[in-house]
Amino acid sequence: MKLSARTSIAVPVTALASLLGVLACSTSTPPTTAPVSSEGAPSSSEGQPSPAAPTPTAAPSTLENAGARCAPPALPPIAQLQPIPTLPDPFLGDNGQRIGARSQWECRRAEIGAQVQEYEFGPKPPKPRIVTGALDGNQLRITAGEPGRTVNFAVDIARPPSAPAGSNVPALIVIGRSALGPVFADRGVAVITFDNNAMGAQGNKREGDTYTNTRGQGLFYDLYGKDHPASSMMAWAWGVSRVIDAIGSTPEAGIDVAHIAVSGCSRNGKGALVVGAFDERIALTVPQESGAGGTASWRISQAQMDEYRATVNPNPSGGQGVQTLAHATGEQPWFRASFADFGKTSADVNRLPFDHHMLLGMVAPRALFVLDNTDMMWLGADSSFTDAVAAAEIWTALGVQGAMGASQVGGHPHCTELPQAQIEELGAFIDKFLLEKKSANTSVLRSDRTTPDRAKWIGWNTPVLQ
C-alpha cells in the first residue's frame, strides 16, 4: 500500500513541550482532590517526609476505576458554566489549583471523568454483583446484573494460530468491526469481537440525514431501565468492562488480562476511546478515524465549521465541512440527551469545562495510539491532530511520552485498510504495550497535512510532575 505524496509534519514527543512553547511550572501546587481513606475521610501526610516519586510507568491498573477513591467534585448545572474559548487546562483542578505531582493525576483524572459523565456521556454504573463467564467453543458467554435481574450476551474469541495450546495471550477487543484485527493477530494477539449495537442500539438512517431514535434500547437498558441517562457509548463501555471481568474469572479462555487492547473505527472508534478512557485495566487504546465524539475537539471542530460556512459554503445544507457537536448529538444517542444544550449556538460549545484532549488524557499514563485519515474532512483531521498534540502534554508531564502517539495519513479508504507506515507504527505499539518488547519505537506524533495552531488553542503551561 502506498502513502500519498504529502509532506509529513512530525512532532517528536520528547520535545513536544518546547515545540508548544510551554515552560515547566516552577512551583508545585496542592492536589486537586485528596485521596479518600478507607474510613471515608481525606487522607493526610502532613508532617510526614515525602516518599520518593515512583518510576513513571504506562502499565494498566488491576482496577476498572482506581479513581473511585477520590472525592467527587461538585459540578454546576450547564447554565452556570462559564465559557472557555481555548482548550481547557487539563492540569487545573476543580479547586482552582494546578496539580504538581504525578500522584495527583489519579484524582485529577477522576475529576475529568466526572465532568465527562455529567455533561457528555452519562454515568457508567460500577461492576454489578453478578458477572460470570463460561467458555463455549470460541465464544465466551457472559451473564451480568443483580440478583433477580440479569442480561446475557456473548463475545467471539479468535486465538492466533501461532499461540500454543493452554497459553495465555494478549487480546484486542474490537468494538463492532475493525480492519486492524489482522495486524494484532499477526503478532500473536487474540481478537475478541464485541457487539456494541446489541448493548446500546444505534439508529438506522431513514430519509435524508434523519435517523431512527434508539435511545434507551439495548441490553444495558434492559438491565438499568430505558430512562437511564447513560448514552449508548457509555453503555458500550460498561459492556466491555463486563467482558474484561468475565475474562478474568474464566482462565480457560486463555487471555492475558494484563495485556488487553481496545479498538474500533469511525463511530466504533469513538466508542473505543470512551471504553479505554473509563477502564484502567486496558493497556492499549487505539481509536481509528473517530472524528466528532472521538479524538476531535468540539471547540476546534466548531471553529472549523464556522470558517467553512463563512468562506466556502454558506448553505447549512450544502457541502460537507466538519461535523460539529450540534450535528453529532442529532445523529445517534452516542451522548446523554442534555449534551445537545452545548450545541444550541456556535458559542455554547465553549461552556464545556473540558474538551476531548482531556478525554484522550484520561487514558494516561496507559498507552494510546490515535489513527486518523486526513482525506476525511467530516472527521476534522485538523481538530483531531491539534487535540492529540494537546493531549500528549499529559503523557509528557507524567514522564511517559512514548506511551502516547498519533498518526495522520491520507490516501486510503475509510476504515478498510491502513498505509504500510501506519501498520508499522501500530505494530510498534502492539509490540511494546501488549508483548512487552520495550525496545519498540513508539515515538510518533505526525500528520501529513496539519500544523496545530498552538498559540490559538493551547494557552496553558505543562507542569513537570514529580
What positions carry a catalytic annotation? 266, 414
Contacts with 350 (C-beta within 8 Å, 6 or more apart), sequence order = 83, 84, 85, 299
Burial of 45 (0-12, 13-18, 19+ CB in 10 A): exposed
| Listed residue (276, 266, 261, 262) closest to 373, CA to CA | 266
Q: Which residue blocks in 13-104 are alpha helix, DSSP H?
A: 16-19
Q: Which residue is it, cell 508548544?
A: 20
Burial of 285 (0-12, 13-18, 19+ CB in 10 A): buried
Please tell me whether residue 32 adopts helix, strand or coil conformation: coil
Spatial separation of the C-alpha atoms in residues 123 and 107, rounded to whole Å: 17
What cell numbers appear for 259 in the block? 495485556
278 contacts 288 by C-beta, under 8 angstroms? no
Contacts with 319 (C-beta within 8 Å, 6 or more apart), sequence order = 308, 312, 313
DSSP character for 81? P
CA distances from 277 to 256, 284, 462 (A): 20, 10, 21
Q: Which residue is it, cell 451522548?
A: 335
Q: Which amino acid is at 181?
A: G
Spatial separation of the C-alpha atoms in residues 117 and 111, rounded to whole Å: 10
